[in-house]
Chains A and B, each alone.
Chain A
Amino acid sequence: MTNLVEIDHLNIRFTGERTVHAVNDLSLTLGEGEVLGLLGESGSGKSVTLRALMRLLPRQRTQISGSVKVLGNDVLAMSDEELSDFRGQTVSMIFQEPALALDPVYTIGRQIAETVMRHEGKSQTDAMARALEMLEVVRIPSAKRRLGAYPHEMSGGMRQRAMIALALSCKPRILLADEPTTALDATVQIQILLLLRELQRAFGMSVIFVTHDIGVAIEICDRVAVMYAGQIVETGTLSQIVRSPLHPYPRGLLASTTHGARRGERLGTIPGTPPSLDKAPTSCSFAPRCASAEARCSEALPPAVDMGAGRMARCILAERAAIESA
Chain B
Amino acid sequence: MSEATAPVDMLEPVEDRGGVAQPLLQVTGLTKHFPVRGDLFSARKTVRAVDNVSFSVLKGETVGIVGESGCGKSTTARLLMHLMKSDAGDVVYDGMQVGRALSLRELRRGMQMVFQDSYASLNPRLTIEESIAFGPKVHGMADQAARKLSHELLGKVGLRPEIFANRYPHEISGGQRQRVNIARALALSPRLVILDEAVSALDKSVEAQVLNLLADLKREFGLTYLFISHDLNVVRYISDRVLVMYLGEVVELGPVDKVWDEPAHPYTRALLAAMPSSDPDNRTKTPPISGDPPNPIDPPSGCRFHTRCPFAEPLCAGATPKLSAVDARGHEAACYMAIPGSGHSRAPGASA
Contacts and interface: CB of A to CB of B under 8 A. Distances in A.
Interface in A253-296: 253, 256-261, 263-264, 266-271, 273
Nearest to B282: A218
B280 A239 contact: yes
Contact of A212 (B204, B278, B281, B292): B204
A278 to B, nearest CB: 15
Interface in A174-210: 185-191, 193-194
Nearest to A139: B290
Contacts of A216: 276
A76 interface: no
Contacts of A155: 292, 295
A216 B208 CA distance: 18
B284 A258 contact: no
Contacts of A74: none
Contacts of A190: 274-276, 284, 287-288
Interface in B206-242: 206-209, 211-212, 215, 230-234, 236-240
A268 B238 CA distance: 14
Interface in B251-296: 270-271, 274-281, 283-293, 295
A260 B287 CA distance: 22
A243 B173 CA distance: 30
Given A216-B276, A273-B175, A185 B68 contact: yes
B203 interface: yes
Interface residues of A, number: 44
A186 B203 contact: no
Given A193-B276, A218-B276, A256-B204, A187 B293 contact: yes
B69 interface: yes
A193 B237 CA distance: 25
Contacts of B215: 264, 266
Given A219-B276, A219-B277, A270 B212 contact: no
Contacts of A268: 208
Contacts of B236: 258, 263
B36 to A, nearest CB: 15
Nearest to A222: B280
Contacts of A239: 280-281
Given A194-B287, A256-B207, A266-B215, 14 more contacts: A158-B292, A185-B230, A186-B68, A186-B232, A189-B276, A218-B276, A219-B276, A253-B205, A256-B204, A258-B207, A258-B237, A258-B238, A263-B236, A268-B208
Interface of A: 41-42, 141, 155-158, 185-191, 193-194, 212-216, 218-219, 238-239, 242-243, 252-253, 256-261, 263-264, 266-271, 273
5 contacts: A185-B230, A257-B233, A258-B237, A266-B215, A273-B173
In the A-B complex, list the 4 residue pairs whose CB atoms are closest, starting with the nearest: A215-B276, A256-B208, A185-B68, A41-B203
